[in-house]
């Protein structure tokens, strides 16, 4: 049954209920400490009181550039408690990038830590924004001082579920970042539904190695774990040996890994065969999971359920492919729509495509954004008649399972034929010499665009003639017009903090591959 908005409570209330039920359970664990539920909520209240004393009101923005750890969670929940708007920023931003996003959001506070304070201090901030640093700083510019001087009283705030809860800035790979507005209702609506779907409970242990500033890092699975009374383990950096040890030692039950993490983990798991019998869910999201990697995970960890989810910042989670379906659905299937989410594939005129027909994926979801912050034109371009355009090309099979084919901007048109690069990537990723691959189109004087594969080879693989070998391998499984006309090699693929390959950067690097000098 779908919950109506008036039946839904806000996210902080859901966590308070868990804290009352499980006050002495460990809620949050990091490299050097842990917090029980009662202590976590007490610290959230102290931070909320400090922010209120600093003038934060409902609707104000609080921005924070914080690495994974307890301060991020406390600041995030305290801001929500006050009815203010959370603005989590990428901790790797440089001063000019910080200035753009902070001036766009116009927050009352910007919270930084010792590692991000330098760029935050160098940024040109609006006069109404106060920089507060966790770990150092003098007087009221220090977060510990601000919290220590706060009154004991925590303001009681009636949360308007339709009001904005967060501004999530897009990665900006196709232009300047835009602030995605997510409401309190969109944040809280799916927490109990996803918790039930993914099997979270008070004995769940969730390993969260992805950056918390990303929606997938703090909303997806983390809030579900905490609302269920489970334990969240975070790490500031992804380290393969540490993750291998953590899952076994802490008896982790749920983990979220982007595909890049999966590639590196599987090499270690296959070599060491660690005891990961406790792991019930390996969730893969943020980028397509190559079919060859899917097979490796299932073969090495037969007791672990491999789940695949598709979503975007503007909509949240859209689909789930469950373990039983991973075994029977090939290629780039990402599953059926989640409960409460409507998905269509539409043509250029907005007409729904029949099963097997390719079109743009559009979504309606209670978790979807209400618009872009102070950007009505971009909002109107993206939300059409209540449907959010994703920019992804997909198709449904007869069971209404969604297959992702490509990003609209990534389709290669070579000699008049459309090439969906994900199909080519999936083929090349199954070659034993390939660690990672990204396929792009580059200008070509004869074909208009040519298919180019950028390959990260496995360690120890000899490169002479490898490009020709991979082209021949592709031609064994794909029509020739889809296959690369050139293979180039790289030490690594450029990626965003979300784990997505920056194909705009690759197209820039190799734009002269066929038309001019190239280094």
- Picking from 174, 165, 199, the residue whose alpha carbon sits closest to that of residue 86 is 165
Phi-psi region of 315 (alpha: psi -120 to 50; beta: other; left: phi over 0): alpha
pLDDT in the model for residue 266: 95
Residue 91 CA to its chain's centroid (Å): 15
Q: To 5 degrees, how large is the angle CA 226–CA 228–CA 234?
A: 30
Residue 288 main-chain phi, psi, to 5 deg = -60, 140
Give residues with Cβ within 8 angstroms of 128, minimum separation 6.
Answer: 106, 108
> How far apart are the C-alpha atoms of 84 and 345, rounded to whole Å?
36
Judge whether 38-182 and 411-509 match in fold. Answer: no
- Picking from 90, 19, 77, the residue whose alpha carbon sits closest to that of residue 51 is 77
Task: Give Cα separations from 48 to 43, 89, 294, 487 (angstroms).
Answer: 9, 19, 43, 54
Q: Six-digit token pair at 497?
A: 């903090």
Residue 410 and residue 506 in contact, taking contact as beta carbons nearer than 8 Å: no
Locate the domains of the chain by residue range: 38-182, 411-509
pLDDT in the model for residue 176: 82
pLDDT in the model for residue 157: 87
Sequence length of the chain is: 519
> How far apart are the C-alpha atoms of 217 and 196, rounded to whole Å?
19
Residue 179 and residue 185 in contact, taking contact as beta carbons nearer than 8 Å: no
pLDDT in the model for residue 140: 57
pLDDT in the model for residue 5: 41
Residue 253 main-chain phi, psi, to 5 deg = -105, -30
Exposure b/e, 322-353, CB count within 10 A at least 16 = b: beebbeebeebbbbbbbeebebbbbeeeeeeb
Give residues with Cβ within 8 angstroms of 347, minimum separation 6.
Answer: 353, 357, 359, 360
Q: How many CB atoms lie within 10 A of CB 491?
A: 6
Find the helix packing angle between 291-300 and 259-272, rounded to 10°: 40
> How far apart are the C-alpha atoms of 32 and 220, rounded to whole Å?
24
One digit per residue, the tens of pLDDT, for the chain of length 519 reads 334 444 469 999 999 999 999 999 999 999 999 999 999 999 999 999 999 999 999 999 999 999 999 999 999 999 999 999 999 999 989 999 999 999 999 999 999 999 999 999 999 999 999 999 998 655 558 999 999 999 988 888 899 999 999 999 986 555 688 999 999 999 998 899 899 999 999 999 999 999 999 988 898 899 999 999 999 999 999 999 999 999 999 999 999 998 889 989 999 999 999 999 999 999 999 888 888 899 999 999 999 999 999 999 999 999 999 999 998 997 789 999 998 899 999 999 999 999 999 999 999 999 999 999 999 999 999 999 999 999 999 999 999 999 999 889 888 988 888 899 988 999 999 999 999 999 999 999 888 899 999 999 998 887 778 999 999 999 999 999 999 999 999 999 998 766 788 998 999 999 999 976 444
Task: Give Cα separations from 19 to 86, 224, 233, 258 (angstroms).
Answer: 22, 13, 17, 30
CATH class of 411-509: alpha beta
pLDDT in the model for residue 4: 41
- Picking from 264, 226, 317, 243, the residue whose alpha carbon sits closest to that of residue 495 is 264
Q: Fold for domain 38-182? A: Rossmann fold (3.40.50)
Give residues with Cβ within 8 angstroms of 376, minimum separation 6.
Answer: none
- Picking from 114, 90, 113, 115, the residue whose alpha carbon sits closest to that of residue 102 is 90
């Amino acid at each position: 049954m779908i919950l109506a908005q008036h039946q839904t409570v806000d996210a902080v209330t859901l966590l308070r209920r868990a804290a009352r039920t499980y006050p002495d359970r460990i809620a949050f664990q990091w490299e050097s400490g842990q917090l029980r539920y009662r202590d976590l909520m007490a610290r959230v209240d102290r931070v909320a009181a400090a922010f209120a004393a600093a003038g934060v009101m409902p609707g104000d923005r609080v921005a924070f550039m914080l690495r994974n750890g307890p301060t991020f969670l406390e600041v995030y929940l305290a801001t929500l408690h006050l009815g203010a708007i959370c603005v989590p920023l990428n901790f790797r931003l440089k001063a000019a990038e910080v200035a753009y996003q902070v001036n766009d959001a116009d927050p009352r506070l910007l919270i930084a830590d010792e590692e991000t304070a330098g760029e935050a201090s160098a940024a040109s901030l609006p006069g109404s924004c106060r920089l507060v640093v966790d770990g150092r700083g003098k007087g009221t510019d220090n977060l510990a001082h601000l919290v220590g001087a706060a009154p004991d009283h925590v303001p009681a705030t009636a949360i308007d579920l339709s009001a904005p809860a967060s501004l999530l800035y897009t990665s900006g790979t196709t232009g300047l970042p835009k602030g995605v507005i997510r409401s309190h209702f969109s944040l809280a609506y799916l927490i109990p539904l996803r918790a039930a779907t993914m099997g979270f409970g008070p004995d769940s242990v969730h390993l969260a190695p992805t950056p918390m500033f990303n929606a997938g890092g703090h909303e997806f699975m983390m809030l579900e774990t905490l609302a269920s009374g489970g334990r969240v383990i975070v790490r500031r950096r992804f380290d393969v040996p540490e993750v291998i040890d953590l899952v076994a030692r802490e008896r982790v039950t749920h983990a979220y890994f982007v595909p890049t993490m999966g590639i590196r983990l599987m090499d270690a798991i296959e070599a060491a065969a660690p005891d990961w019998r406790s792991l019930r869910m390996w969730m893969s999201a943020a980028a397509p999971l190559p079919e060859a990697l899917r097979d490796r995970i299932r073969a090495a960890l037969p007791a672990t359920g491999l789940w695949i989810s598709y979503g975007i910042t503007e909509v949240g989670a859209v689909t789930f492919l469950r373990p039983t379906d991973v075994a029977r659905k090939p290629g780039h299937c990402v599953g059926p729509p989640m409960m409460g989410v409507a998905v269509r594939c539409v043509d250029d005129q907005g007409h729904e495509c029949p099963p097997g027909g390719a079109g743009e994926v559009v979504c309606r979801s209670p978790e979807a954004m209400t618009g872009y912050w102070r950007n009505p034109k971009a909002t109107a371009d993206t939300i059409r008649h209540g449907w959010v355009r994703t920019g992804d090309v997909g198709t449904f099979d007869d069971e209404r399972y969604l297959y992702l084919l490509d990003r609209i901007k990534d389709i290669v048109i070579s000699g008049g034929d459309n090439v969906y690069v994900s199909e080519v990537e999936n083929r090349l990723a199954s070659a034993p010499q390939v660690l990672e691959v990204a396929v792009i189109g580059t200008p070509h004087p004869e074909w208009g665009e040519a298919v180019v594969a950028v390959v990260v080879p496995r360690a120890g693989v000899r490169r002479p003639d490898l490009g020709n070998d991979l082209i021949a391998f592709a031609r064994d499984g794909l029509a020739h017009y889809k296959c690369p006309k050139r293979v180039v090699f790289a030490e690594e693929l450029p990626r965003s903090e979300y784990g997505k390959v920056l194909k705009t950067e690759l197209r820039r690097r190799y734009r002269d591959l066929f038309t001019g000098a190239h280094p």
